[in-house]
Amino acid sequence: MPRAGIYPPSFCTWKVLVAVMVITEVSVVLVGMGRGGFPGWQWLGMASVYAQWMALFCASGVCVMSAWTGRLSARGAWIGSWLIAVCACGGIQLCRLVCRRPHRPQPFP
């Protein structure tokens, strides 16, 4: 028996993942251009790698948990997907903070 409502998309297909990657890259470029012009290739490269990694990690988390969110109501599936993505981003940030090596300045020769 089909349930009424609009469910979140399945992030388990390559077409949706390509759309996630394109939207992420456009967002990085727009944020970079909003800072007063082209920020430079180094910033664009690092921001792109970080944003793509985070977006694909969150999408894979939603994909893995899609069996669970499929059993919920439409509203519950949207809230569950959002919570999964937020927890995945929080996990990335926590790992980034915990695993950060302390900066040790090199002495001048």
Domain boundaries, the chain: 14-98
Q: What is the pLDDT of residue 1?
A: 44
Give the pLDDT score at 20.
92
How far, in Å, CA of 64 to CA of 86, rounded? 15
Q: CA angle 23-29-35, nearest 5°?
A: 135
Q: What is the pLDDT of residues 11-43, one digit of tens each?
A: 888 898 999 999 999 999 998 888 677 778 888
- The DSSP 8-state label assigned to residue 39 in this structure reads -
Give the integer Cα–Cα distance in Å for 77 and 67: 10
User: Tens digits of per-residue pLDDT, 71-106?
Assistant: 888 888 888 888 888 888 888 788 778 877 666 666
pLDDT tens track for 40-77: 888 889 999 989 988 998 888 888 888 888 888 888 88
pLDDT at residue number 28: 92
Q: What pLDDT is stored for residue 107 in this prediction?
A: 66
